[in-house]
Chain A
Amino acid sequence: MHQPATEARPSIYYNYEVFKPWLPSEHPQQPRHQVAIAGSGPAGMVTALELARHGVPSVVLSAELQFSQGSRAICFTRRSMEILQQVGVADRMTEGGLPWRFGNSFYRGQRVFRMEAPHDPDDRFFPIINVQQQFMEEYLHDACKANPLIDFRWGNKVNAVVQKDGYAEVEVDTPEGPYTLETDWLIAADGGRSGIRSAMNLQMEGASYEGFFVIADIQIDLPFPTERRAYFDPEWNPGNTILMHREPHGIWRVDYQLPPGETPEEALRPESLKARIDAQLAMIGHAGTPWKMDWSSVYSARTLTLPDFVHGSVIFTGDAAHLLPIFGVRGANTAFQDAQSLGWHLAYVVKGLAGPSLLKNHSTERVGAAREIIEEAGKSTRFMAPPSAGFRLLRDAVLSLSLTQDFVRPLYHWRTSRPHEYTHSALNSLGDDNALFKAGPAHGAPPQNVRLGINDFLLDHLGGGFDLLYFTDAEALPAALRSVIDAARQEGMPIKVIAVGAAQAVQGADKTLPDADGHLRQRYGVPANGAAYLLRPDQHICARWLTLDATRLQAALSTALPQ
Chain B
Amino acid sequence: MSEKVLPIDGLETVYDALATAIDQAGPDKAQLFLVKLALLNANALGDAALVQQQIATAWQDL
Q: Which residues of A does B touch, CB under 8 Å?
A: 393-394, 396-398, 400-401, 405, 407-408
Contact = CB atoms under 8 A, between A and B. Distances in A.
A400 B32 contact: yes
B39 A401 contact: yes
B43 A394 contact: no
Contacts of B31: 393
Interface in B4-62: 31-32, 35-36, 38-40, 43
Contact of B32 (A396, A405, A408): A396
A176 to B, nearest CB: 63
17 contacts: A393-B32, A393-B35, A394-B35, A394-B39, A396-B32, A396-B35, A397-B32, A397-B35, A397-B36, A397-B38, A397-B39, A400-B32, A400-B36, A401-B36, A401-B39, A408-B39, A408-B43
Contacts of A393: 31-32, 35
Nearest to B31: A393
Contacts, number: 23
A177 to B, nearest CB: 62
B39 A398 contact: yes
Given A400-B36, A407-B43, A408-B39, 8 more contacts: A393-B35, A394-B35, A397-B35, A397-B36, A401-B36, A401-B39, A401-B40, A408-B43
B62 to A, nearest CB: 14
Contacts of A398: 39
B40 A405 contact: yes
Contacts of B38: 397
Contacts of B35: 393-394, 396-397
B30 to A, nearest CB: 11
A401 B36 CA distance: 7
A265 B40 CA distance: 42
Nearest to B42: A407
Nearest to A397: B35
Contacts of A400: 32, 36
B1 to A, nearest CB: 23
Closest 6 CB pairs of A and B: A397-B35, A397-B36, A407-B43, A393-B35, A401-B36, A396-B32
Contacts of A396: 32, 35
A14 B37 CA distance: 52
Contacts of B39: 394, 397-398, 401, 408
Nearest to B37: A397
A397 B36 CA distance: 5
Contacts of A401: 36, 39-40
Contacts of B40: 401, 405
Nearest to A400: B36
A405 B40 CA distance: 9
A394 B32 CA distance: 8
A405 B31 CA distance: 19
A370 B39 CA distance: 31
A389 to B, nearest CB: 9
A367 B29 CA distance: 43
A218 to B, nearest CB: 34
